[in-house]
């Protein structure tokens, strides 16, 4: 009670909850993590309150788990691994602090979702490069901090784009701005009045502070705003589909398009994954699984403010030629899917229910970073493991997304399952574990090491584990920030 009161002192009564049902909703997530109920949910409204919460947590040795997105939580990062943890729910911090068309920048608080931000940006003629059809409740801040892969890797000069600067309260209670913002006074209004727009994420000085927060699952500090690099809103935006029998058949095509810096959105999916994306119901997903090609590359082309028609026409023709040179077809539609429908789906957040749950109600995914020419062996392995486990390989969704202008690729396997069916849950859990391990052995790089992936990855990289521990010791000396994550 005393502890709760101390939190109430900081954020106000209405922003602290110990209600068991609410606590349960934060505890469960879909990563098969051990479900530990949090102690309280606390909802700060600003960075001052966040800083006070952290000071309190230090004094009381209370673990904190920062959460910005609404349910469902999928990766395990937001479920406590230790008892008596306090969830710091930032989803109520919903301000869009600035949008600057001239600099193509926006600054947002953690609770802002993609839908909210895109609407606001569109009013200024801009948009944000998004991950694939994010869920409606997804926090933009959480998404960029967790480096969810962007659809347009051609405009991704930095691996972490569109993430630029942040304000962070570290686990030791200190608060700084990172990047260019860290080189000036810690006051956004003052910086803006000096025409500083938090554009350059590097540093300041000799450390890339923001890199200590990315893919960190909130284990270093709590971010209270981020600045984001935006894109110009397309005047013309088309999507084409390039079908193929095997994923390898698309690799050379994708390599070439990426090398020439053509296209905007570009990715590869198998039919099962695309079916999940497009199907409005489980039955429709099943129908689409039968209609859609086995594999398809999705190629988006945008014309913006400068010569939009010309740009689109040139790229359409050139990419069509590249496809043709590889014996492929560059089509506005394939059986089961039209380009404009697919485009709408991929660049917008899910309406209502998250599309990945459509088929069976839940899904488990395995993803990692690799190179495109290595993906066939991963695909073959997962299909084989699925069949061996008694899971239909035809249900396995595969999504391959170029990152960082094609220097690496996000490779993702999606395994839909019925969460109400205990046998299926057990099967998926076992398949997830065995596949994760097998893929690790084959060279998968778990750059975003959720759950067991952190052990799989860091066991092979002992030096990194040692150095990460040192960093953790600096920025979260009392170990209060989401303890148990990252195996450090």
Partner 1 sequence: MALEREIYQAFEDVVGKRNISEDPGILESYRCIVAQSSAHYGPFNHVTPCPQAVILPGCTEEVQNIVRLCNKYKIEFKASTTFQAAMGYIGSDYAIQLDMRRMKGIEIDEKNMIAIIEPYAIGATVQAEAMKVGLNCNMAGVGCSSSTLAGTAGWVGFGPSSLFMGAASENMLSTEWVLPDGDVIRTGSAGAGLGWFCGEGPGPSIRAIFRGKQGATGAMGVCTKVAIRLHPWPGPTYVPSEGTVPAYKAVLPDNFKTYTLCFPSWEAWADAITLFHENDVLYLGHRQFNMFGRDIKAAMIKILVDPDKQLCDLTTLMADEVTKAQNEDMKLDIQVVIAGMTKRDMEFKEKAIDRILADTGGWKSELMLQPDIAAWTLLYLIRLGHKNLNYTKCGAYEGNFGMSANVFVTTPLMEEASALKRKWENEHTSVAAVGGDSEMGSICLIGGGGPMGWEFFDDFDAYDKDSIKGTFEMIEESQRWMTSKGLGADMGRWNADARRPDAYNYTQEEHDAMFVKAAQPHIYAYQWKVREAFNPNHLGGSYFRTLDPSKL
Applying CB under 8 A, among 54, 220, 222, 386 the residue interacting with partner 1 is 220
Helix, strand, coil shares, percent, the chain, to 5: 40, 20, 40
Is 448 a residue that touches partner 1 (CB under 8 A)?
yes
**Interface mask toward partner 1 for 168-187; x: CB under 8 A:** ------xxxx-xx-xxxxx-
**Interface mask toward partner 1 for 401-430; x: CB under 8 A:** ---xxxxx----------------------
d(CA 216, CA 195): 31
- Kindly identify the residues of this chain, within the stretch 311-340, that bind partner 1 according to CB under 8 A: 311, 313-314, 317-318, 321
Query: SS3 for 242?
Result: strand
Is 216 a residue that touches partner 1 (CB under 8 A)?
yes
Nearer to partner 1, 1 or 306 (CB): 306
Least separation in angstroms between residue 125's CB and partner 1 is 11
Least separation in angstroms between residue 118's CB and partner 1 is 18
Q: Give the number of residues written for the chain.
A: 488
Long-range CB contacts (< 8 A, 24+ apart) of 375-378? 375/247, 375/251, 375/400, 375/409, 375/411, 376/246, 376/247, 376/248, 376/251, 377/442, 378/411, 378/413, 378/439, 378/442, 378/444
Stretch in the footprint of partner 1 (CB under 8 A) among 34-42, 107-115, 216-224, 277-285? 216-224
Applying CB under 8 A, among 6, 116, 124, 200 the residue interacting with partner 1 is 200
d(CA 175, CA 46): 12
Nearer to partner 1, 82 or 313 (CB): 313
Structure tokens given for 76: 């395990």
Least separation in angstroms between residue 98's CB and partner 1 is 14
- Kindly identify the residues of this chain, within the stretch 363-382, that bind partner 1 according to CB under 8 A: 369-373
d(CA 286, CA 395): 9
Applying CB under 8 A, among 5, 194, 324, 384 the residue interacting with partner 1 is 194
Nearer to partner 1, 122 or 157 (CB): 157
72: DSSP letter: P
Is 232 a residue that touches partner 1 (CB under 8 A)?
yes
Nearer to partner 1, 259 or 353 (CB): 259
108: DSSP letter: E
Applying CB under 8 A, among 213, 223, 385, 439 the residue interacting with partner 1 is 213
Is 483 a residue that touches partner 1 (CB under 8 A)?
no
The burial class, CB within 10 Å (0-12 / 13-18 / 19+), for 67 is: buried
Least separation in angstroms between residue 468's CB and partner 1 is 6
Strand partners, 297: 242, 268
Is 237 a residue that touches partner 1 (CB under 8 A)?
no
Least separation in angstroms between residue 64's CB and partner 1 is 17
The burial class, CB within 10 Å (0-12 / 13-18 / 19+), for 305 is: exposed
The answer for 186, left when phi > 0, alpha when psi is -120 to 50, beta otherwise, is beta
Nearer to partner 1, 330 or 354 (CB): 330
- Kindly identify the residues of this chain, within the stretch 36-95, that bind partner 1 according to CB under 8 A: none
**Interface mask toward partner 1 for 259-298; x: CB under 8 A:** xxxx------------------------------------
Nearer to partner 1, 207 or 426 (CB): 207
Query: SS3 for 165?
Result: strand
Residues touching partner 1: how many (CB under 8 A)? 99
The burial class, CB within 10 Å (0-12 / 13-18 / 19+), for 320 is: middle
Applying CB under 8 A, among 22, 71, 202, 282 the residue interacting with partner 1 is 202
């Amino acid at each position: 009670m005393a502890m709760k009161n101390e939190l109430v002192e900081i954020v106000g009564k209405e922003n602290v909850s110990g209600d068991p049902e609410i606590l349960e909703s934060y505890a469960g997530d879909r990563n098969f993590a051990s479900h530990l109920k949090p102690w309280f949910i606390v909802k700060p409204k600003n960075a001052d309150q966040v800083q006070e919460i952290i000071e309190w947590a230090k004094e009381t040795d209370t673990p904190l788990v920062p959460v910005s997105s609404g349910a469902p939580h999928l990766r395990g990062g937001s479920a406590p691994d230790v008892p008596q943890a306090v969830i710091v729910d930032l989803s109520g911090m919903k301000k869009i602090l600035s949008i600057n068309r001239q600099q193509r920048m926006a600054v947002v608080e953690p609770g802002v979702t993609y839908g909210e931000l895109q609407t606001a940006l569109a009013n200024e003629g801009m948009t944000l490069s998004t991950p694939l059809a994010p869920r409606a409740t997804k926090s933009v801040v959480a998404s960029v901090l967790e480096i969810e892969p962007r659809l347009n890797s051609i405009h991704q000069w930095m691996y972490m784009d569109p993430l630029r600067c942040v304000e962070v309260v570290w686990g030791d209670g200190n608060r700084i701005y990172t990047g260019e913002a860290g080189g000036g006074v810690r006051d956004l209004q003052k910086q803006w009045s000096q025409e500083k727009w938090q554009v350059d994420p590097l540093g300041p000085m000799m450390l890339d502070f923001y890199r200590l927060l990315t893919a960190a699952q909130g284990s270093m500090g709590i971010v209270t705003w981020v600045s984001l690099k935006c894109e110009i809103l397309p005047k013309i935006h088309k999507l084409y589909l390039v079908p193929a029998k095997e994923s390898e058949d698309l690799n050379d095509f994708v390599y070439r398009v990426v090398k020439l810096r053509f296209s905007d959105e570009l990715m590869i999916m198998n039919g099962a994954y695309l079916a999940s994306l497009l199907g409005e119901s489980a039955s429709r997903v099943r129908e689409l699984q039968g209609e859609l090609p086995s594999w398809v590359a999705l190629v988006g082309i945008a014309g913006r403010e400068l010569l939009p028609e010309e740009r689109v026409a040139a790229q359409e023709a050139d990419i069509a030629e590249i496809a043709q040179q590889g014996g492929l077809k560059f089509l506005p539609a394939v059986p089961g899917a039209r380009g404009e429908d697919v485009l709408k789906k991929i660049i917008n957040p899910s309406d209502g229910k998250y599309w990945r749950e459509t088929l069976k109600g839940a899904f488990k995914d395995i993803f990692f970073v690799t190179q495109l020419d290595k993906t066939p062996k991963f695909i073959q392995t997962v299909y084989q493991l699925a069949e061996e486990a008694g899971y239909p390989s035809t249900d396995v969704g595969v999504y391959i997304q170029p990152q960082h202008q094609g220097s690496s690729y996000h490779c993702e396997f999606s395994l839909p399952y019925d969460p109400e069916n205990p046998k299926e849950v057990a099967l998926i859990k076992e398949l997830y574990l065995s596949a994760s391990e097998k893929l690790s052995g084959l060279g998968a790089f778990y750059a975003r090491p959720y759950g067991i992936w952190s052990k799989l990855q860091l066991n092979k990289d002992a030096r990194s584990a040692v150095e990460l521990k040192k960093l953790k010791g600096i920025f979260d000396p009392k170990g209060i920030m989401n303890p148990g994550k990252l195996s450090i």
